[in-house]
Amino acid sequence: HWNFAAGPATIPLAVLEQVREELPDWHGAGCGVMEMSHRGKIYTGIYEQVVADLRKLMDIPEDYAILFLQGGATLQFSQIPMNILDGGSADYLTTGAWSEKAVKAGQRLYGDAIREAGTSAASAFTRLVDPATMTLNPKAKYLHFCSNETIGGVEVFDLKQLGGAVQKDVPLVADMSSNILSRPINVRDYGLIYAGAQKNIGPAGVTLVIVRKDLLGKASKAIPALMDYAEQEKNTSMLNTPPTFGIYMSGLVFQWLLKQGGLPAIAKINEAKAELLYKTIDGSGGFYTNNIATDCRSQMNVPFTLKDKALDPIFLEESDKAGLLALKGHKLVGGMRASIYNAMPLAGVQALVAFMNDFMRRHG
C-alpha cells in the first residue's frame, strides 16, 4: 500500500521497523522509550542526540534555539505573536487556508496589530501574492508566511518570490509544517520557523519551533510559562512532561534522512516525484487538471481535479482497491490530492501515475 494522506502522513518503513524492534526494550534499558523518565539519563541522551541531528540536518546555527513543544502548528498561530509581537504590529501574507488561519488566530488576540499585508485570494489561491499589491510595514515586528499551503498546493521555493516582503530588519516567520526537511533552506534567512510534526518529521503531538535567540525574552507576562519560548529554552523544552515518544521517533526520522545523504539527497527524490506527477497531469489532455501557477506548484501536496466530476467516487474507490490510499482532496478544493512527503518513495508515485494513466484509458 502507498499512503498519500496529507497528515498525519506516512512514516518511513525502516523507521517503523526500528521502533517495533526497540518498543519493549530500548537498547537493553529494560523498558521502552515510552516508559522511561524524561529527566533520566537515558532519555536526556536520546533528546540531546535528536537536537544535534536536527541541527546537523538543517545546518541550524548555534544562535538559534530548537524547541520541541505541543499544541500543533495551530497553537503557534497564537503563541508566535504572544512571544514576539512585543507591543508592535506584524505583517502576514495570505496564500491559502493555513496562512489565513494564522491571521485570524493572531487577530483574535491582537486585533489590528496583525495586518494582512497581501493576499492571493483573488486568484483563488492558485498563486503567491503579487509583490506589487503588498502593503508592507517597514517597522513590522515580523513578516509571517506559509512556505507550503497543504490544502491549496502552493509552495514558496525561493524567498525572492516574496518580493519586497523580505526586509533586512523584519524577521521572517514561516509555517513550514508541510515542507520542512524536504530540501535544504538557509535557516539564517529566518527569525522563526515552525512546523507540526505529522508530515515530514514524525508522529502528531510534537511541534517544532526554531527561533533566533535574540527574539526570545519579549513575551507578555500574561501568558502561561509553558507558552513562553524563553522559559522553554531555559528548560530544554521540559517545563512539563514532553511528548517523549514522538520526539524519539522524530529523531529516528532525522537519522533516516542523514543516512541517505541529508536534505540535498531527499530534495532530488522529491523533485523527481513531483515532476513525474505534474507531467502526468499536464500530459493528460485535460482529463486531469492542476491549476496552480507553475512557479509555485507544491512538491509535497499535489491537488488535481478530474474533467468529469462524476468520476470522482469511481477514481477513489478504484485507487483505494489498488492500494493507493487517501487520495480524496480537501473539501475546500475538491477533487483529489496526492501528498508525497519525504517518506513516499518514487516507486509510490510511479504506482500512482500508472494507475492514473490506466484510469484515463478506461474512462477518458
For binding to ligand PLP (CB under 6 A), which residues are involved? 7, 72-74, 98, 146, 150, 175, 177-178, 196
Catalytic positions, please? 98, 175, 199
Q: According to the annotation, is 326 in a ligand binding site?
A: no
Gap between the terminal Cα atoms of the chain: 25
Q: Mention every residue, 6+ apart, whose C-beta is less than 8 A from residue 152.
A: 95, 96, 97, 125, 126, 292, 303, 332, 333
Of 188, 185, 156, 191, nearest in space to 170 by CA: 191
Q: According to the annotation, is 241 in a ligand binding site?
A: yes
Q: According to the annotation, is 175 in a ligand binding site?
A: yes
Output 151 or 352, the one with its CB closest to ligand PLP.
Answer: 151
Q: Work out how close the CB of 201 gets to ligand PLP at its nearest, in angstroms, rounded to a whole number.
A: 10
Output 91 or 175, the one with its CB closest to ligand PLP.
Answer: 175
Q: According to the annotation, is 207 in a ligand binding site?
A: no
| Three-class SS of 11-50 | CCHHHHHHHHHHCCCCCCCCCCHHHCCCCCHHHHHHHHHH
For the chain, strand residue ranges (E) read 2-3, 64-69, 90-94, 114-119, 143-146, 148-149, 154-155, 172-175, 192-196, 207-212, 288-289, 301-306, 324-325, 336-339
Output 205 or 306, the one with its CB closest to ligand PLP.
Answer: 205
Q: Work out how close the CB of 122 gets to ligand PLP at its nearest, in angstroms, rounded to a whole number.
A: 21
Q: Work out how close the CB of 75 gets to ligand PLP at its nearest, in angstroms, rounded to a whole number.
A: 7
What does the DSSP assignment read for 52-80? HHHHHHHT--TTEEEEEESSHHHHHHHHH
Q: Work out how close the CB of 178 gets to ligand PLP at its nearest, in angstroms, rounded to a whole number.
A: 4
Output 55 or 101, the one with its CB closest to ligand PLP.
Answer: 101
Q: Which residue has the cell 492571493?
A: 120
Q: Work out how close the CB of 135 gets to ligand PLP at its nearest, in angstroms, rounded to a whole number.
A: 24
> Letter for the amino acid at 168?
K
Spatial distance between the Cα atoms of 253 and 266, rounded to a whole number of angstroms: 12
Residues shown for the chain: 364
Output 2 or 145, the one with its CB closest to ligand PLP.
Answer: 145
Q: Report CA 270 to chain centroid distance, whole Å.
A: 14
Q: According to the annotation, is 358 in a ligand binding site?
A: no
Residues in the annotated binding site: 39, 73-74, 98, 150, 175, 198, 240-241
Residues in the annotated binding site for L-glutamate: 39
Residues in the annotated binding site for pyridoxal 5'-phosphate: 73-74, 98, 150, 175, 198, 240-241
